[in-house]
């Protein structure tokens, strides 16, 4: 029985929140909705961990929906990369749930609170689906599920500017999704298939096809919009700043990473089959855009006066690291390409945890009236030392101070650049972390070392559930910072698996129940 459930996990992990969402709509009672949502989130973390263990044990898990074999039917395919992304999404959301209890009460109107959780579940299901699926069209569907719920989540706050920011994002997001579907139709026309690995195999006959080139351009632009890759990042600061805090926290930790994951997935499968000369072009585009995003994002962050905005620009800068790392993964040198993929994935995971922690802390501070504006914080950080202390841990992680997970990702990024002897990239990485130090330390200095405004009221520490979430998150930051072997060891398998593309390693999951009659039971 347990075996059966376990073999169904690739589907369950998506289906559970997807079914949960309308259920919450019916239940409608705030506290029950909250508890059930949290329950789903916690169960899903366990699911993601089980999937990781299974992937480590058996290799790629391929799940055939309805019993139809992959090129025809829809396939969920969990390999090392998507297992990490599933863990990233489920873990960072699960950590947030206790925090959400207070935050949603504070930042979202009472009668709409249950709606927030409905949207959260939908969004979450969409992101998990994007990570799990191996079907290009299916990916589009999940992308739209998550995008549409994102727009509503941004507009759900008490602030009216959120509506405008949501509309802005809606326009950009729709264009991005449309670009993607155009690319999928082109690839379909070229290959006659929608399964991503199958398409990749067939595309090797069309290496120099102009259609492929154009389709890849559309894919890149589409996902660049969703992942806020420079210069298509303009929607992000506004959306993050004016969205209610719970939305911002969730989006910052998960949404952009999953879009980037989709880009990596496409990159592995499509960009690399295209001819040598064009993959050089892709590498150049990714690396230069990544570096521009890193430096410009960090430089803009130093000029902001709103904590949420500082963190938003810092997100753009950090996404730049990952884009640059993807660029390195196109390198003909195998060692560099591997290092690129590993660095991108490690940083994705680490940044999700860090940004989650930082935005949670800002939310807690905003609840007590000492954020998001820097001027509100002036000299008042001492009123909630624990929250601000945890905020500092997150910030040190962002700077890449050793002992935090930020250092681990910086290590991998620099290692990748040094391996290719791309000293310009090394300098850019170092300069960006120096800028990160500047924009972050400014906050600390204002918070601790300035005299508070005489009329500023004294506040007290954040409520306990919020603190609990933040402490768990900070603990992960530190523990993985001094002992990240299990995670990085797992991530290190990714490039190997991609290159060898081992179909024989596939553990056939449980066949759908109807198939059992044909005697094809699961192994």
Residues in the site for other proteins, rule: CB under 8 A? 396, 399-403, 408, 411-412, 414-415, 418-419, 426, 430-431, 433-434, 437-438, 441, 445, 448-451, 481-485, 488-489, 492
Shortest distance, position 375 Cβ to other proteins, whole Å:
16
Of 332 and 385, nearer to other proteins (C-beta) is: 385
Of 154 and 346, nearer to other proteins (C-beta) is: 346
Alpha carbon distance 177, 190 (integer Å): 20
Shortest distance, position 419 Cβ to other proteins, whole Å:
7
Shortest distance, position 444 Cβ to other proteins, whole Å:
8
Of 296 and 408, nearer to other proteins (C-beta) is: 408
Tokens found for residue 162: 């959120």
CB distance 510 to 65 below 8 Å: no
Alpha carbon distance 35, 157 (integer Å): 21
Shortest distance, position 445 Cβ to other proteins, whole Å:
6
Shortest distance, position 386 Cβ to other proteins, whole Å:
12
Of 252 and 390, nearer to other proteins (C-beta) is: 390
Shortest distance, position 3 Cβ to other proteins, whole Å:
33
Shortest distance, position 302 Cβ to other proteins, whole Å:
12
Shortest distance, position 172 Cβ to other proteins, whole Å:
34
CB distance 201 to 187 below 8 Å: no
3-state secondary structure of 157: strand
Neighbour count for residue 85 (Cβ, 10 Å): 29
Alpha carbon distance 84, 80 (integer Å): 6
Alpha carbon distance 14, 123 (integer Å): 11
Secondary structure letter of residue 209 according to DSSP: -
CB distance 377 to 306 below 8 Å: no
Shortest distance, position 438 Cβ to other proteins, whole Å:
8
Of 5 and 438, nearer to other proteins (C-beta) is: 438
Closest-CA residue to 241 (of 327, 316, 171): 316
Shortest distance, position 254 Cβ to other proteins, whole Å:
24
CB distance 329 to 269 below 8 Å: no
Alpha carbon distance 301, 295 (integer Å): 10
Of 52 and 336, nearer to other proteins (C-beta) is: 336
Supply the angle between the helices 276-301 and 210-226 in degrees, to the nearest 10: 20
Closest-CA residue to 271 (of 219, 319, 321, 323): 219
CA 2 to chain centre: 30
Closest-CA residue to 362 (of 379, 340, 338, 381): 381
Of 50 and 478, nearer to other proteins (C-beta) is: 478
Rg (alpha carbons) of the chain, rounded to whole number: 22
Of 111 and 451, nearer to other proteins (C-beta) is: 451
Alpha carbon distance 281, 276 (integer Å): 9
Shortest distance, position 443 Cβ to other proteins, whole Å:
13
Tokens found for residue 165: 């920011």
For the chain, how many residues are written?
A: 523
Alpha carbon distance 164, 338 (integer Å): 42
Of 224 and 393, nearer to other proteins (C-beta) is: 393
Of 205 and 333, nearer to other proteins (C-beta) is: 333
Alpha carbon distance 82, 271 (integer Å): 18
Of 44 and 433, nearer to other proteins (C-beta) is: 433
């Amino acid at each position: 029985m347990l075996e059966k459930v376990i073999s169904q996990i690739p589907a369950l992990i998506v289906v559970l929140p997807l079914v949960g969402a309308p259920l919450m709509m019916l239940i409608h009672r705030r506290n029950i909705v909250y508890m059930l949502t949290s329950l789903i989130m916690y169960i899903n973390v366990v699911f993601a961990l089980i999937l990781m263990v299974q992937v480590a044990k058996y290799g790629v898990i391929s799940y055939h929906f309805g019993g139809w074999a992959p090129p025809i039917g829809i396939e969920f395919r969990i390999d090392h990369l998507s297992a990490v992304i599933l863990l990233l999404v489920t873990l960072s959301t699960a950590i947030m749930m206790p925090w959400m209890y207070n935050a949603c009460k504070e930042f979202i109107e009472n009668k709409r609170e249950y709606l927030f959780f409905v949207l959260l579940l939908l969004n979450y299901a969409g992101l998990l689906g994007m990570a799990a699926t191996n079907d290009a069209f299916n990916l589009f569907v999940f992308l739209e599920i998550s995008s549409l719920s994102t727009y509503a989540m941004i507009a759900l706050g008490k602030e009216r500017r959120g509506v405008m920011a949501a509309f802005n994002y809606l326009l950009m997001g729709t264009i991005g999704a449309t670009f993607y579907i155009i690319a999928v139709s082109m690839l379909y026309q070229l290959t006659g298939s929608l399964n991503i690995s199958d398409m990749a195999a067939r595309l090797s006959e069309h290496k120099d096809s102009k259609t492929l080139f154009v389709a890849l351009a559309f894919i890149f632009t589409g996902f660049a919009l969703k992942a806020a890759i420079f210069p298509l990042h303009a929607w992000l600061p506004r959306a993050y700043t004016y969205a209610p805090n719970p939305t911002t926290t969730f989006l910052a930790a998960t949404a952009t990473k999953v879009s980037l994951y989709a880009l990596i997935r496409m990159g592995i499968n499509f960009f690399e089959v295209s001819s040598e000369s064009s993959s050089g072009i892709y590498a150049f585009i990714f690396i230069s855009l990544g570096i521009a995003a890193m430096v410009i994002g960090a430089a803009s962050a130093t000029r902001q006066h709103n904590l949420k905005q500082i963190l938003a620009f810092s997100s753009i800068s950090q996404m730049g690291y990952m884009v640059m790392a993807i660029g390195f993964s196109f390198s003909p040198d195998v060692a560099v390409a591997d290092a690129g993929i590993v660095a991108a994935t490690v940083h994705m995971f680490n940044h999700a945890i860090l940004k989650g922690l930082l935005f949670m802390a800002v939310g807690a501070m905003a609840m007590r009236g000492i954020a998001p504006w820097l001027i509100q914080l002036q000299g008042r950080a001492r009123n909630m030392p624990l929250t601000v202390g945890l905020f500092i841990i997150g910030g040190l992680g962002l700077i890449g101070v050793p002992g935090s997970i930020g250092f681990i990702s910086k290590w991998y990024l620099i290692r990748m650049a040094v391996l290719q002897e791309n000293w310009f990239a090394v300098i850019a990485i170092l300069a960006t972390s120096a800028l990160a130090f500047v924009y972050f330390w400014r906050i600390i200095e204002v918070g601790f070392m300035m005299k508070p405004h005489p009329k500023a009221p004294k506040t007290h520490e954040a409520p306990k559930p919020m603190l609990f979430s933040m402490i768990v998150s900070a603990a992960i930051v530190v523990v993985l910072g001094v002992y990240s072997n299990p995670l990085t060891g797992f991530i290190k398998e990714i490039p190997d698996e991609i290159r060898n593309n081992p179909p024989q390693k596939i553990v056939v999951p449980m066949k759908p129940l109807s198939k059992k009659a044909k005697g094809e039971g699961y192994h």
